[in-house]
Chains A and B, each alone.
Chain A
Amino acid sequence: MVSLLIFVPFLAALVIALYQDEEAAFAKRFALGVSAVLTLLSLALYFRYPGEGFAFEEKLSWMPFLGASYHVALDGIALPFVVLTALLTVVSVLASWRKKERAFFALLLLLEGALTGVFAALDLLLFFVFFEIVLVPMYFVIAVWGYEERRYAAVKFLLYSLVGSVLMLAAILGTAYLASAELGKLTFDYLELQQAVPYLAALPAAAWLFWGFALAFLIKLPSVPLHTWLPHAHTQAPTAGSIFLAGVLLKMGGYGLIRFNLGLFPGELSRFSAVLGVLALTSIVYGAYVTLAQRDLKRLIANSSVNHMGYVLLGIASMTAIGLHGAVYQMVAHGLITGLLFLMVGLLAERTHTREIGAMRGVYASMPVLGGIFWLALLGGLGLPGLAGFLGEFQSLWGAYLAETTRWMVWFALLGLLVLVGAMLWTVQRVLLGEKEKDYPDLDPVELAAAAPLVVLAVVLGLVPALLTPWIDGGIQPLLAFVRGLL
């Protein structure tokens, strides 16, 4: 089942690439159909999850001479992201309904498959393979269909990501070879490597390995000071690309930190939790101030992501159940809300032909539906209670408060929260409010269909956390029990 989620998109992309289709009329319908079916399939898996540990496991021999296998499974941490990936593919296809190039839809499907693979892989080499494959379609999506500075943004995205991931490859190899002395065999299997965690922790190289993994994930997340690729990539990417970047690509960072840095190097994580906490705090406060200063609407939302991902890192650095729980919740909420924000900005910019905040006024008056949804999304972005973002931020901060190393940081983080609230409300005032300047067509049914699932989920997950909390618990609790047994 999990393999279907990974490989059906690849096959679908191949079909689209081979089918001669001038206006992409077939391509977009086919991509929509495939991604909708896969969303339903991923939801079926979501609701059939037994509640704890890994499920839906599949293991095949791949490179036996190296101890690497095709091993995939999903737990409560990965499942929400797998569903989110499939859902955001549907949204992205709908958001790109006017595109006439079938290659675009093929690339979106490639992204979907590779991202699902990232979250499902339980073999470190397999994880790396998918982690790297993601870069290629994303590079082309930004570089071909982006805005004016797309080439620069795409190359910057590629190089930043690569530096992180090649060092992670070195760390993966180092981990496996060092652990082989303890395990008696070379293996890249996550579950088998976990048995060598106490041995790895005692090695002098443990800190190097930890940072080899952490660097890749901190770049992806991104955390200040490794975030400078993000404003360019997010701003220059086409709407669908921004939705994927914010919705899922950043999540690979937080997911990786929990899965590998916490799962394989818990001792190092607690040793460096103050460092990570300070990085998180800087991201929260600095990210908020930078958001406040933006003139470009898309760049504003991109920078608010730096702030939002700061809470994720803070929750992880706290190493408490609530903090980790909040980190995952925040990532899901951010995927929905920021995805929605980028969708709205994209649709708005298509109409006004500018992303300049100073050039927009009275959007709500001229387009009540678009303006209303945008309004909701901005409130979600500032963490309004009742929307999904609040629960994530609140739990991350609460978890950080519970841990001694990160307690003092919470007070400063609140400052960042406050500034971001100001930035978002100011945006509402400048863009949405005021007299209408010009009549624009409001959302058409396709665009509304793209926004609807995100709006519904942002509200539902804000009001009914029971639809997500037990799943996260099923992933986090066994991991924390394992970690506590060692520390």
Chain B
Amino acid sequence: MADIAATGGHAAAHELGHPSHVQHHFDTSAQQFEASKLGMWLFLGTEVLFFSGLFCAYTVYRFNHPEIFAYAHKSLSVFWGALNTIILIASSFTMALGVWCAQKSNRPGLVICLILTLAGAAGFMVIKAIEYNEKFQHGKLWGRLYQPAQHDDHAADDHAADAGAADAHAAASGAAHGSDARPTDPAHGAAAPAAGHGPSAAFQPERTSLAEPNQLPRGGVKLSTLTAGGHDKGHGGPKPADVHNEHIFYGIYFCLTGLHGLHVLAGMVVLSCVLVGAVQGRYHAGYYTPVDLGGLYWHLVDLIWIFLFPLLYLIH
């Protein structure tokens, strides 16, 4: 009896109770669906927390240095941002319709909805590319590569002198408590060999230590020369005297939109796979888990953009 159960019972139970899409360790289709959905929601939770780091950087800088944001956001086009928002919401809508079609076993409807969603995603990326291109043209890049065109350069040279004074904060965290940040004996700074042969060597700032703060880090390419004489579309005029370090805004802007853009691309890959399955007719009212989960992911991408749009483009 036990032997029969050991050899045959297990396999037999599978063949009888399991539709083809149910994996062996689940008892029913419903259990598998619920598990997949729970897993997806947990994954979406981790995505929210993944973005939280960037939102935290945003909040901290916006709260402490609002003038950077008030000034620098003017180079972003509200028109493109709003258009992208609408495109993304529309693609979310078609995705929700797609899930409805799958639940109704409406295969042509599902295929059309998925194609529309993918088109929306592609449209979003195209507009994003247009925006990025404009930023590159004007040298409005992140941090070290920030090189805006000459004519809106209102750099006050006295700030460079300020930079000469040791940054108290850097000193507090970097030097005074050296054993945390500089795990070495005092001789290390002088003795460190120039090991700049690795992949990151090309990106190294041209300075090696904080001891020479006047030597500002620079990008390798002088983008300002590319746009000499070009007009500065969408820019809000000369920089007020109290605005400094606006390159941090662009750093956060590129990180946030770049990471979001990567998620859009990932969503396009996921939805393309779902589309292939839909064309093959794999989904029906009894089994549409990939459509549902792909949809949830796509809505999350939309959700993040819903917050990014007012935070980046609509600053008063």
Same complex: no
B residues neighboring A (CB under 8 Å)? none
